[in-house]
Amino acid sequence: MKLNVLDVTLRDGSHSVRHSFTVEQVRAAAKGLNASGVPYFEVSHGDGLGGSSLQYGLSKTDELKLIEAAVSECTTSQVSVLLLPGIGTKEDLQSAASLGVKMARIATHVTEADIGAQHIELARSLGLKTVGFLMMSHMAPVEKIVEQAKLFESYGAEIVYVTDSAGAMLPKDVTERISALRQALQCEIGFHAHNNLSMALANTIAAIKAGATYVDGSMRALGAGAGNTQTEVMAAVLERLGYETGIDLYNLIDTANDVIAPLMQQPQEITGSSLILGYAGVYSSFLLHAQNAAEQFGIDERDILMKVGEMKAVGGQEDLIYEVAQNLASKREVVP
């Protein structure tokens, strides 16, 4: 079976290098990905087009310059961009398309596909391969994901992704979600993993077995939290399992070794913090707040993250972290 591998090193990896990618780095990585036969790769700020800001982190280099450099290296690979409505704009998408981008992935929280309707329609009208990207998919029950995926499909998405942003899923979670989508949708299905529970590749394989035909990875696992499915490892394992990816493994390993490894600012390990983020199933942006609140109230940051995870808090609800911390601290004081 033919699978479509999409490498996100130059987008999700942006988080891990604090948005410091240079034109030279992107050019070298793009050249390697293209030569390796990776069919798609994504170039954007970690939080998508227009993400460069004080809130999400300023990019060292204008992402349009990075996209332009990437496109210029491609003879067979196609460049994708990510866009979160509310962060990126329709103008950003038009600019990217004019640079030769061939795919747009419109990303919303798993329960908010409707805010992506206009962007999906625009991407289609620009002639881009168009993807609906359901973030934090572990937080919604299967029926909700099916409902939201159908919305994306109804807007014109050609592929809908289940995105395990927090690296919180285990294979059975993936299987039930992807299987339900495969039954409910006509369009293709994708899966994007994070490795916080060390299950990124196992989850990706579960997704493929359940019907996903687009799978994301990043070289050296470079990405937010504990990183993504490691593209070069995935390519090797998929080959062992008998799937066709069209990827030249040695070329991809060389690119990971020679281009990506030297630019990493810290190893992409599963630290205590990234483990707890996956275990609690919360946004990585919650971590710093939890650490601050833990210090302020003299409690364990992990208790806060676990509680916030139970409450299914979402991005934007950072205030809740301090409330939870205060509650935990006051409860503790009651017990002598």
> Any idea what DSSP says for residue 76?
S
Binding to its own copies by CB under 8 A, coded x per residue (else -) over 169-198, reads -xx-----------------------x-xx
Q: Residue 255 Cβ, how far from its own copies at the closest point, in Å? A: 10
Query: Which of 250, 288, 310, 331 touches its own copies by CB under 8 A?
Result: 250
- If one asks whether residue 230 binds its own copies (CB under 8 A), the answer comes out as yes
Active site residues: 15
The minimum distance between CB 288 and its own copies, in angstroms, equals 17
Contact between 272 and its own copies (CB under 8 A)? yes
Q: Distance between CA atoms of 32 and 252, rounded to whole angstroms? A: 7
* HEC letters along 278-313: HHHCCCCCHHHHHHHHHHHHCCCHHHHHHHHHHCCC
Strand 188-192, strand 159-163: pairing: parallel
State the minimum distance, in angstroms, from the CB of residue 258 to its own copies.
Answer: 9
Binder among 112, 209, 279, 318 for its own copies (CB under 8 A): 279
Question: Is 119 a known ligand-binding residue?
Answer: no
C-alpha to C-alpha distances, 84 to 81, 88, 113, 169, nearest whole angstrom: 10, 6, 11, 22
Whether the Cβ atoms of residue 12 and residue 50 lie closer than 8 Å to each other: no
The backbone torsions φ and ψ at residue 189, rounded to the nearest 5 degrees and listed phi first, read -125, 140
> How many residues at the interface with its own copies, by CB under 8 A?
39
19 has binding-site annotation = no
Q: Which stretch binds its own copies (CB under 8 A): 98-106, 113-121, 122-130, 246-254?
A: 246-254
Residues 6+ apart with CB under 8 A from 226: 167, 194, 195, 196, 198, 268, 269, 270, 271, 274, 275, 278
| Residue 220 touches its own copies, criterion: CB under 8 A | yes
Q: What token pair was written down for 140? A: 């919604």
User: Segment near its own copies (CB under 8 A), from 54-62, 106-114, 182-190, 253-261?
Assistant: 253-261
The one among 257, 285, 292, 326 contacting its own copies by CB under 8 A: 257
Measured CA to CA, the distance from residue 196 to residue 106 in angstroms comes to 24
Nearest to 280 by CA among 84, 131, 138: 138
Q: Does 240 bind its own copies (CB under 8 A)?
A: yes
Q: Whose CA is closest to 110, among 158, 168, 57, 49? A: 168
SS3 333: helix
Q: Which of the ranges 14-22, 50-58, 103-111, 228-236 carries the binding residues for its own copies, by CB under 8 A? A: 228-236
Report if residue 271 touches its own copies, rule: CB under 8 A: yes
Angle, CA of 63, 39 and 59, to the nearest 5°? 15
**Site residues for its own copies per CB under 8 A:** 170-171, 195, 197-202, 220-221, 229-230, 232-234, 236-237, 240-241, 249-250, 253-254, 256-257, 261, 267-272, 275-276, 278-279, 300, 302
Q: Which residues are annotated as a binding site for Mn(2+)?
A: 12, 192, 194
Q: Which residues are annotated as a binding site for substrate?
A: 11-12, 165, 192, 283
Q: Which residues are annotated as a binding site?
A: 11-12, 165, 192, 194, 283
